[in-house]
Amino acid sequence: MKSPKPRPTDGSDRPVGVRDVARLAGVSLGTVSNVLNNSASVGPEIRQRVENAMQTLGFVPSRAAGQLRSRKSGLIGVVVPDVGNPFWAKVIRGVETVVDAAKLTMVVGSTRQDDARQRHLLHVLDSQGVDGLIIAPIVAPNGDLAPFEKRRFGVVTLERETNVSTSAWVSLDNVEGARLAMAHLLAQGHERIALVNGSLSVSWCAERREGAALAVRQHGLSPEEVLVDVEVPDLTVDEGTKAMQRLFATERVTAVMCVNDMLALGVLLELQARHIKVPDEMALVGYDDADFAPALNPPLTTVHQPAFLMGTAAAKLLIQKPKQRHGEHLSFEPRLVVRGSSVVMES
């Protein structure tokens, strides 16, 4: 049976406070405060005495109180479209390695392609007093970012530039990535191709549509005649499946390009359910090069993005040079990875 938690020495039921710790340790309130803030001015013997008193009394330091004293929360807000998407999960892991090394803590949220949810998440992070923000905004949140400009680290955006004066941004060349994917399908002889995409109000969705159309024009064809646009509300496996169900009811295509691998997985599942052979009867290309892409049957042709490196780059920009990075832009190059979903591979 556990012993009851010690109470203050005055016999009251109030929570244990710093005064109780100071009284038991025989030190001043200032000394207890210095121990809580890891001040080098406290010697090891006194520090040990204070820590022993805290343990004896069951004292738990208040993070909020520490934040008020130091004006630092130790929190970094991270907002992405979907934490369940393997690409964004890798980005977050990259951010985490840098944040952990700096002894900071992440607070992570998903917008789910919803601008109202994005505003809500930013409001919550503002109220929590985060020291910095990394965000992949689905819509330009310039006004919503204003509270974060004056924070300890400020703002770094992913995939989209803002007009926030203190921000920097990290991106991949989405136009070129999509151009590579669509050019590959056109080179296989496909002339009627579905493009499963999110809303064009989302910057990277618009850029990937631009890259696909550019490839078509470079091939001497008309995007209006070649591309069949299929818009989905969210970039998930389920929406990929639904997109193909709608497509089969209205259009005939010989290939499908998806703007992420989650959509491509949903497309592939629907094709398999209809016993349509890939790539013989329908070619398929994704985007992101998720870890599961080479394990699918057939393995998925996709555009590789260095997600982990993008995450570490964003976090380093945020934490390591918050005063010098204004307007800085780091861009990563995409790479097409050809596998069996778009072309019959030689054994």
pTM confidence score: 0.75
pLDDT at site 156: 92
Residue from 135, 138, 105 nearest 122 by CA: 135
Evaluate whether 232 touches 259 at the Cβ level (below 8 Å). Answer: no
pLDDT at site 184: 98
Q: For the residues 92-96, what does the mean pLDDT come to?
A: 97
CA angle 82, 83, 86 (to 5 degrees): 95
pLDDT one-digit tens code per residue, 242-291: 999 999 999 999 999 999 999 999 999 999 999 999 999 999 999 999 99
Share of the chain above pLDDT 90, in %: 62
pLDDT one-digit tens code per residue, 166-221: 578 898 999 999 999 999 999 999 999 999 999 998 888 999 999 999 999 999 99
pLDDT at site 202: 87
pLDDT at site 13: 59
Given a cut of 80, is residue 334 above it in pLDDT?
yes
Which domains are present in the chain?
18-69 (1.10.260.40), 72-172+307-335 (3.40.50.2300), 174-304 (3.40.50.2300)
Distance CA 134, CA 168 (A): 10
pLDDT at site 214: 98
**Amino acid in position 171:** S
Q: For the residues 299-327, what does the mean pLDDT come to?
A: 87
pLDDT at site 3: 42
Distance CA 109, CA 82 (A): 8
**Strand order, beta sheet including 154-158:** 105-110, 75-80, 132-135, 154-158, 168-172, 329-332
Distance CA 288, CA 345 (A): 21
pLDDT one-digit tens code per residue, 24-52: 999 998 888 888 776 678 888 998 999 89
How much is the mean pLDDT over the chain? 88
Given a cut of 50, is residue 338 above it in pLDDT?
yes
Residue from 85, 261, 115, 287 nearest 199 by CA: 115
